A and B are shown apart, each in its own frame.
Chain A
Amino acid sequence: MLNQSQVIETIDMIEKEHLDIRTVTMGISLLPCVRESAEKTAKAVYERVVGKAEKLSSVTEALSREYGIPIVNKRVSVTPVSLITAAFPEESVSVALALDRAAETLGIDFLGGYSALVHKGTADFENTFLDTIPEALASTKRLCSSVNVGSTRSGINMDAVRRIGELVKEIAARTEREGGIGCAKFVAFCNAVEDNPFMAGAFHGTGEADTVVSVGVSGPGVILHALKGVPGADLTEAAETVKRTAFKITRAGQLVAGEAAKRLGVRFGIVDLSLAPTPARGDSVAHILEELGLETVGGHGTTAALALLNDAVKKGGVMASPRVGGLSGAFIPVSEDIGMIEAAEAGKISVDKLEAMTCVCSVGLDMIAIPGDTPASTISAILADEAAIGMVNGKTTAMRVIPVPGKKVGDEVSFGGLLGRAPVMPVHTGSAEKFISRGGLIPAPIHSFRN
């Protein structure tokens, strides 16, 4: 028999502590869609995505109601589009439009994969593709874009890093009226993973099966509640509490993932063990760190507390699922976490501290609003720093910053919904122009030569 207190615990997690399945993401290979023209390719892409994901919404909604657990987002990731349009890269936007239409038809909020993997070098067709990203993001609503600029094995493609700084500025300018919201849908990675179910960085890697379903779990509120239950615990016991709770959260995700794959008739991909905050109160990663004993997130001790949290989530989660993947770690987006927003507004957390935090968690400098007049080379340098952390530490890092047009430090920008709001944070003003303009490849670290 089920234990009554366990049943009530699960219901409380869902109803009072925001436990949910954050995303069910279907990864779809677009490789079979390549045709002799952009127009025919776009048509094939639309038909394939709509055909494959036809039942995604209805199946996830039924699962949500049967198990009584909310499934917040239904999403699709696709093969990096630069590979699909390699023969006619200048017409890539036609595929972007087709994907956006497909997402609209399917009733999903985001579709990821307008992407290029250029970590070791940028092919000519990829250079042309990169140029289309601002237009693609400005002319679509649901499309997300990402670029991988480095890896532990290959080093960092600094020519691409330089170009990304300019692209971020262009994207902000093209979506100026909405506070540069296009930048919220664009992320640059080092060590990008091929099976990430979370936006904006989701794409379906070429090493993946034809179609898979992956699930991103969440539950900062549940972890927070569990920690509130052991206020005097030492940090070993606190870590253990997080671990046990992460196990339960992940098991719910695993159950939904397996059942979704079965009903959709596709392979189960992975469960991504991430703590993904939302702007809702009680759903904050920052507040977990504060519950561990910090007066405010961003102060000294934050990195250590985050390291503990991130590790405990993984240890609990790995035990709960046969296939863990994606980004799997705590996310620290500023605009999407009420605790982060408040700390940033009070000037208690800096971009430098956030950068340090990315050394011990997933994923990177995320959803940070910076002054609109930040030079492109500074944005490139921010990315170069993040990529270096990822490259040397063998982990995924990323940058998703928004240089908000016309805004300066102290102003605020609101993106609405899950993207939240953010105060414009200061960045260093010393120029990196010369460093960034050098270009070339930062060589891979010595410990990457493991064969």
Chain B
Amino acid sequence: MRAVVTVTGTDRRGIIAAVSGFLSGKEINILDISQTILGDQFAMVMLADTSVCSEDFLTLSEQLSALGREIGMNIRLQHADIFDAMHNV
């Protein structure tokens, strides 16, 4: 399944390392990353392939939220279809 991971919050060191490390540990392949910083606000969008990950989607989503709390960021995991549906005719 194609999933979108979004990470937002105040910029600090090690955000990408923490998130990509977590995903790699779950056998999730990162297909694309885009990241920007506006002022001190960090925003990152990752497209990830969860097809070989053994964790179910909702558990994964909770674990990512927990990781977010740990590093002081807001992390969401969503099915990529919602963005495709809303922004492509």
Chain A interface (Cβ within 8 Å of chain B)? 1-4, 6-11, 62, 65-69, 248, 251-252, 254-255, 319
Contact = CB atoms under 8 A, between A and B. Distances in A.
Given A66-B78, A67-B78, A67-B82, A3 B87 contact: yes
Contact of B82 (A1, A8, A69, A319): A69
B60 to A, nearest CB: 10
Given A1-B47, A7-B6, A255-B81, A66 B57 contact: yes
B45 to A, nearest CB: 5
Interface string B29-65: 0011010100000010101000000000110010000
Nearest to B36: A4
B86 A8 contact: no
16 contacts: A2-B45, A2-B83, A3-B87, A4-B34, A6-B83, A7-B45, A10-B86, A11-B8, A65-B58, A66-B57, A66-B61, A67-B78, A69-B82, A248-B86, A251-B86, A319-B89
A68 B36 contact: no
Contacts of A252: 82, 85-86
Contacts of B57: 65-66
Interface residues of B, number: 26
B82 A2 contact: no
Contact of A7 (B4, B58, B79): B4
Interface in B1-49: 4, 6, 8, 31-32, 34, 36, 43, 45, 47
Interface of B: 4, 6, 8, 31-32, 34, 36, 43, 45, 47, 57-58, 61, 76-87, 89
Q: Summarize A's interface: helix, strand, loop or mixed.
A: helix
Nearest to A63: B79
B8 to A, nearest CB: 8
Nearest to B82: A67
A66 B85 CA distance: 14
B1 to A, nearest CB: 9
A65 B84 CA distance: 17
Contacts of A2: 4, 32, 45, 47, 80, 83-84, 87
Nearest to B80: A2
Nearest to A62: B58
Contacts of B58: 62, 65-66
Contacts of B8: 8, 11
Contact of A1 (B32, B36, B76): B32
Contact of A248 (B34, B47, B61, B87): B87
A255 B81 CA distance: 8
A10 B83 CA distance: 7
